[in-house]
Amino acid sequence: KNTDIFLDEFEKNKNKKIYFEGWMFRSPEGLKKYRKEIKKYFSPSPDIENKIDKTIKEIRKNYSEIIGVHMRQGDYKNKLNGGKYYFNALEAKDILEEYIKKYNKNISKTFFLFCSDEKVDMSVFSNLNVKQSDGKNAVEDLFLLSSTDTIIGSNSTYGALASYFGDIPFLVFDKNEIDWNYYKDKNNYFE
């Protein structure tokens, strides 16, 4: 591929500076190739890692599957695209219940771990096993999500980054019907 030749030449070049601009700039091959180095560079502090490990181990004592739920609220309520990407707790509940049915999950063995930039009314999810992180630290929440088995949530690069760090699938909330078949065979991070 021409891309491989370009990358090889770039890596051999003494001038290692390159500048990119634009929302849609992507380097899927670079993300794959340098995943280990990227994860190491961005790894959280040991105190955050220990807190996350403790939280996940405690949940795993009683549940075989942990689903991270990312609910971005704040700017998604009405500032960004007129609320197009905002989901309230009732809408999220419907999606999670649909997920359980579509993937034939054992509700008693599945735990939903919520991360959000605002408090979520957890009483809405009384029929599910749920907990919301304290939300005090965005880095902690990011790596908490990455430590789950799957992420379901807001259409946001935050959830996508957590998916990348955890090498787990990220299923995106959708106002239209979610195409569950699209996600059916996704077991890892995907672009």
Torsion angle in degrees (nearest 10) through CA of 59, 61, 66, 71: -10
pLDDT of residue 67: 98
Write phi, then psi, for 53 (nearest 5 degrees): -55, -45
Q: How many residues does the chain have?
A: 191
* Cα-based distances in Å from 128 to 112, 114, 143, 166, 179: 8, 12, 23, 24, 23
Each of the 191 residues of the chain gets a pLDDT tens digit; together they read 566 777 777 778 777 676 667 767 778 888 889 999 999 999 999 999 999 999 999 999 999 999 999 999 988 887 777 788 899 999 999 999 999 999 999 999 999 999 999 999 999 999 999 999 987 899 999 999 999 999 999 999 999 999 999 999 999 999 988 999 999 999 999 87
Q: Give the span between the Cα atoms of 3 and 38, in whole angstroms.
A: 20
Q: Give the span between the Cα atoms of 108 and 62, in whole angstroms.
A: 9
**CA nearest 85: which of 176, 169, 168, 162?**
176
